[in-house]
Amino acid sequence: MLLLNAKNAKEQKGLEIINRALLRLIAVLIVLLLIGTIFGIVRSSDKPLFTLGRTKAPQQSGTIIDDSINFFTGIGRLRIPLVNSSTLILSIAFPYPADDITFTEELAGKIGELRSIAIAYFSALPADKIIIIDEETAKNEILKRYNTTLRLGRIEALYFSDLIIIE
């Protein structure tokens, strides 16, 4: 009988510790919710609380950035095998209207196709054109191909970065 009482006492003590810990956790959560609510009421609603990633072009000194334009960088860095067994490393970005949600969704849905278009263009270049890539011609051709696949908007300009050929 004494063993049962001692065992029950230990179980009771363990349950009391768990209950206290849960009550403290609930109290902390309530305090956090109150602080968040007060912060949400007090802060101005015209600025986001935080942003993930960089969707705007970096501001140059003396230039003004238009808030109605975002830069699409979802294509990422491409590693394109070329005819002469070298590799082209390329990143492509372009501006698009920030308020055009349907076009943004179309771009996000066609990332794979946009990547394939650029890869197909550069991997089909003859070996003599690879050494001296005419960047403007490449931009215009890829831009034309991109715009033929897009239905809900048009891309006006392309920007290349990381244009490197590794032999």
Low-confidence spans in the chain with pLDDT less than 50: 52-54, 57-64
Domain locations along the chain:
1-50, 69-166
pLDDT score recorded for residue 105: 92
Is CATH 3.30.479.30 the right assignment for the domain spanning 69-166?
yes
120-152 pLDDT per residue, tens: 998 888 877 777 878 899 999 999 999 999 999
pLDDT score recorded for residue 45: 62
Hunting for tokens 């215009």 — which residue is that?
A: 140
Give the chain as a DSSP string. Answer: -HHHHHHHHHHHHHHHHHHHHHHHHHHHHHHHHHHHHHHHHHS-TTS-S---S--SPPPPTT----TTEEEE-TT-EEEEE-TTS-EEEEEEEEEEETT-HHHHHHHHHTHHHHHHHHHHHHHTS-HHHHHS--HHHHHHHHHHHHHHH-SS------EEEEEEEE-
pLDDT score recorded for residue 53: 47
pLDDT score recorded for residue 44: 64
Return left, alpha or beta for 60; rule: phi > 0 is left, psi -120 to 50 is alpha, else beta.
beta
pLDDT score recorded for residue 151: 94
pLDDT score recorded for residue 128: 76
pLDDT score recorded for residue 132: 81
